[in-house]
């Protein structure tokens, strides 16, 4: 479902992927875009240096009564890699909160956070065991598993799909069916067509009457220029960014227009690592979940941590995007953060089968394990 908005040239991508694979002792590392949980993570920032230590009272006081205690740390310092699904943005705020709090370091995990050169990097490197943990759209992980991959989800970051149709507000649309006769941009990824067909059909329209053009990963630019009336994208990211930067839009969310309520973003690993290094998985999950629990309690602090580690991010856009993501982390408080709901996975599998995105069902028992969730 998710693809990088700015892809590298083939040569640059090959070099970046090679660097990812060869660094960190078989894991992945990209020094120019890597955040580390090590002691030097914020060493050059006087305003933040005092707050990154594991024993900092001002930081540990923010964990709140609802946060689970961290498990016993690993016996020794252990390097690990986490490949993001995309460039760092608001949905990753909990990870940067955990880094700033020293939560991974407290568990003796030296975590390197890496931006992929292409979305497929995350899936292929985790599946091959060349990196430890990754983030991906829930449907992408299901696709990998259905194709015979070794991936397994270990917790959810989003409880609903982030995808949908994003239309110019000036089109005055009240439902996706009104896109009949209009031009809609897609990236060319098969799931984009499934999203478009699902939403238009659910609204009573005929997807065949929508004029579809492939715009690659330039949907926002094509919308601004007036070339298209709508495009498939992530409404808490693409839609919010357009809105904040002066292009009013109306988003039609997949989960509200015929789509299944599947996990929009999951953390995953491969089954070999999960079975052979359960303590590492347990401590990584616990620290990350704590980071998101603290983000839910104090999003302003986590936004500061995200922006401090990634100063190129526009603060106004990130703040609005995080506000949109927060209810999705727990379905507005109805489920505990990290939960992967079996019914949602089964609904996603049925939807993907119906749209020929996978060739066989992916049952929850194969898709995910909840054994590592704190208190689970």
Does the residue 372 lie in any domain?
A: no
The pLDDT score that the predictor gives to residue 40 is 36
Q: How far apart are CA 8 and CA 216, in angstroms?
A: 13
Q: Are residues 93 and 70 in the same domain?
A: yes
Domain C-terminal end among 256, 275, 303: 256
Does the residue 209 lie in any domain?
A: yes
Task: Report the phi/psi class of residue 77: left, alpha or beta, with left for phi > 0 and alpha for psi in -120 to 50.
Answer: beta
Q: Are residues 132 and 190 in the same domain?
A: no
Task: Report the candidate in 37, 36, 110, 97 with the shortest Cα–Cα distance to residue 63.
Answer: 97
Instruction: CATH number of the domain at 216, please.
Output: 3.40.190.10
Phi/psi at 223 (nearest 5 deg)?
-70, -45
Q: How far apart are CA 123 and CA 127, in angstroms?
A: 6
The pLDDT score that the predictor gives to residue 120 is 78
pLDDT tens over the chain, length 376 residues:
654 433 333 334 433 444 554 445 444 433 334 566 643 343 333 334 333 333 333 344 344 546 778 999 999 999 999 999 999 999 999 999 999 999 999 999 999 999 987 767 899 999 999 999 999 999 999 999 999 999 999 999 999 999 999 999 999 999 999 999 999 999 988 899 999 999 999 999 999 999 999 999 899 999 999 999 999 999 999 999 999 999 999 999 999 999 999 999 999 999 999 999 999 999 999 999 999 999 999 999 999 999 999 999 999 999 999 999 999 999 999 999 999 999 999 999 999 999 999 999 999 999 999 999 998 6
Q: Are residues 156 and 167 in the same domain?
A: no
Does the residue 1 lie in any domain?
A: no
The pLDDT score that the predictor gives to residue 112 is 97
Q: Are residues 241 and 130 in the same domain?
A: no
Does the residue 375 lie in any domain?
A: no
CA distance to 2, 96, 174, 247, per residue, from 166 (Å): 15, 28, 12, 11
- To 5 degrees, how large is the angle CA 94–CA 98–CA 102? 170
Q: Are residues 206 and 330 in the same domain?
A: no
Q: Are residues 83 and 195 in the same domain?
A: no
Q: Tell me the β-bridge partners of 36.
A: 112
Q: Tell me the β-bridge partners of 134.
A: 83, 268
For residue 360, what are the domain limits?
A: 10-160+263-367
Q: Are residues 294 and 181 in the same domain?
A: no
Domain C-terminal end among 256, 278, 312: 256
Does the residue 99 lie in any domain?
A: yes
Does the residue 131 lie in any domain?
A: yes
Number of residues assigned to the chain: 376
Q: Are residues 336 and 363 in the same domain?
A: yes
For the chain, give the secondary structure using H, E and C.
CCCCCCCCCHHHHHHHHHHHHHCHHHCCCCHHHCEECCCCCCCCCHHHHCCCCCCCHHHHCCCCCCCCCCCCCCCCCEEEEEECCCCCCHHHHHHHHHHHHCHHHHCCEEEEEECCCCHHHHHHHHHCCCCCEEEECHHHHHHHHHCCCCEEEEEEEECCCCEEEEEEHHHCCCCHHHHCCCEEEECCCHHHHHHHHHHHHHCCCCHHHCEEEECCCCHHHHHHHCCCCEEEEEHHHHHHHHHHCCCCEEEEEHHHCCCCCCCCEEEEEEHHHHHHCHHHHHHHHHHHHHHHHHHHHCHHHHHHHHHHHCCCCCHHHHHHHHHHHHHHHHCCCCCCCECCCHHHHHHHHHHHHHCCCCCCCCCHHHHECCCCCCCC
Q: Are residues 321 and 345 in the same domain?
A: yes
Q: Are residues 273 and 250 in the same domain?
A: no
Q: Exposure of 101 by Cβ count < 10 A (0-12 exposed, 13-18 middle, 19+ buried)?
A: buried
Does the residue 373 lie in any domain?
A: no
Q: Are residues 118 and 169 in the same domain?
A: no
Q: Are residues 15 and 67 in the same domain?
A: yes
Domain C-terminal end among 212, 241, 256: 256
Judge whether 250 and 128 are in contact, CB under 8 Å: no
Into how many domains does the chain fold?
2
Residue 58's CB is within 10 A of a number of other CB atoms, namely 8
Q: Which two tokens stand for residue 255?
A: 């989960």
Does the residue 198 lie in any domain?
A: yes
């Amino acid at each position: 479902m998710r693809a990088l908005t700015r892809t590298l040239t083939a040569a640059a991508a090959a070099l970046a992927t090679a660097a990812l694979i060869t660094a960190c002792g078989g894991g992945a590392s990209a020094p120019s875009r890597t955040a580390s949980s090590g002691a030097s993570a914020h060493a050059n920032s006087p305003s933040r240096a005092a707050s990154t230590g594991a024993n900092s009272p001002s930081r540990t006081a923010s964990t709140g009564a609802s946060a689970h205690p961290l498990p016993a740390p690993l016996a020794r310092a252990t390097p690990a890699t986490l490949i993001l699904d995309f460039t760092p943005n608001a949905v990753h705020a909990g990870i940067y909160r955990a880094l700033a709090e020293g939560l991974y370091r407290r568990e003796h995990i030296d975590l390197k956070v890496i931006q992929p050169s292409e979305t497929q990097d995350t899936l292929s490197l985790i599946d091959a065991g060349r990196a430890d943990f990754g983030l991906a759209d829930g449907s992408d992980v299901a696709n990998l598993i259905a194709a015979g991959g070794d991936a397994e989800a270990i917790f959810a970051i989003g409880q609903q799909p982030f995808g949908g149709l994003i239309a110019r507000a000036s089109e005055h649309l009240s439902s996706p069916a009104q896109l009949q006769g209009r031009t809609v941009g897609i990236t060319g990824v098969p799931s984009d067509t499934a999203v478009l067909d699902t939403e238009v059909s659910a609204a009573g329209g005929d997807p065949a009457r929508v004029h579809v053009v492939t715009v690659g990963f330039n949907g926002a630019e094509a919308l601004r220029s007036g070339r298209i009336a709508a495009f498939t994208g992530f409404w808490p990211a693409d839609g919010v960014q357009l809105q904040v930067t002066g292009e009013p839009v109306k988003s039609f969310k997949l989960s509200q227009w015929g789509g299944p309520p599947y996990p929009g973003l999951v953390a995953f690993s491969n089954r070999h690592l999960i079975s052979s290094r359960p303590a590492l998985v347990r401590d990584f999950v616990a620290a990350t979940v704590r980071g998101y629990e603290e983000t839910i309690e104090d999003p302003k602090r986590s936004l500061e941590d995200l922006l401090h580690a990634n100063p190129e991010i526009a603060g106004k856009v990130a703040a609005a995007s995080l506000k949109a993501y927060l209810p999705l982390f727990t379905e507005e408080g109805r489920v505990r953060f990290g939960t992967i709901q079996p019914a949602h996975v089964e609904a996603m599998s049925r939807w993907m089968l119906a749209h020929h995105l996978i060739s066989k069902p992916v049952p929850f028992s194969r898709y995910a394990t909840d054994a590592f969730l704190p208190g689970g």
